[in-house]
Amino acid sequence: MPKIVDHDARRAELAAAVWRLASRQGLDAVTMRAVAAEAGWSTGALAHYFADKEELLVFAFETVADRVGRRIVEAAGHARDPLEILRTQLVEGLPIDVERRAEVRVWFAFLGLAETRPRLAQAGRNAYRLWRDRIAKTLAAGQRQGLVDDAIDPEREAAALIALVDGLAIQATFEPRALTAERQVELLDERLARLTLASAR
């Protein structure tokens, strides 16, 4: 392999192949052989990037986390009001369209696999910590601007809000008819309304 290979470009290529496989056929389908075939590489070339299946799965997980993370940062960039940013940081985790539904399915599939794979569990831990930190910071900003009840503990509240989003995502995945995109967002909005309501009590 020549030294001028653009490793970032190649990793992006691989990430796209992994995502296509996972979203189409589930994580079962993410094997060294299948990813190599999907990317049009040899398995030998792939082995250059990933020592084993677990490394490949960690990469796949980070690919999904990056997709969601990038969208959050982008959407939040358009907003100024902390409550609006907060809403964006949470809505992006809900399976409200085809793309997000695929992400959510794949995301939770990792949880099951992480059970027996420490590095994957670590990647999951990092992703949740990052999400929680971002939301806690937005809540604190909301408090400084008098938009969020001072009695709320930002970190605790962040955990509860993420829990609601993850939980809605699971039910919506199993029962898309009972929990439509509209209903998911309504339930989140009801919850968010309480952040300010509490101070009005």
**For its own copies, the closer CB: 41 or 57:** 57
**For its own copies, the closer CB: 74 or 190:** 190
**For its own copies, the closer CB: 83 or 120:** 120
Residue range at the interface with its own copies (CB under 8 A); choices 34-42, 61-69, 82-90, 170-178: 170-178
Q: How far is the CB of 8 from its own copies (least distance, A)?
A: 28
Kindly tell me the burial class for residue 7, based on how many C-beta atoms sit within 10 Å of its own C-beta (0-12, 13-18, 19 or more). Answer: exposed
Residue range at the interface with its own copies (CB under 8 A); choices 7-15, 68-76, 83-91, 161-169: 161-169
Q: How far is the CB of 103 from its own copies (least distance, A)?
A: 12
**For its own copies, the closer CB: 41 or 113:** 113
Residue 75-114 contact track with its own copies, rule CB under 8 A, x = bound: ------------------------------xx-xxxxxxx
130 binds its own copies, rule: CB under 8 A = no
33 binds its own copies, rule: CB under 8 A = no
Q: How far is the CB of 133 from its own copies (least distance, A)?
A: 11
Token pair of 70 as six digits: 């990038």
Which of 124, 198, 200 lies closest to 162, judged by CA? 124
CA distance 71 to 49: 26
Kindly tell me the burial class for residue 18, based on how many C-beta atoms sit within 10 Å of its own C-beta (0-12, 13-18, 19 or more). Answer: buried
Which of 188, 29, 191, 177 lies closest to 93, judged by CA? 188
Sequence-distant (6+) residues with CB within 8 A of 142 are: 82, 83, 86, 148, 195
**Sign of the torsion formed by the C-alpha atoms of 96, 31, 112 and 9:** negative
For the chain, how big is the Rg over CA atoms in Å? 19
Judged by the rule CB under 8 A, the positions of this chain that interact with its own copies are 25-28, 105-106, 108-116, 121, 124-125, 127-129, 132, 156, 159-160, 162-168, 170-171, 173-175, 178-179, 183, 187, 190-191, 194, 201
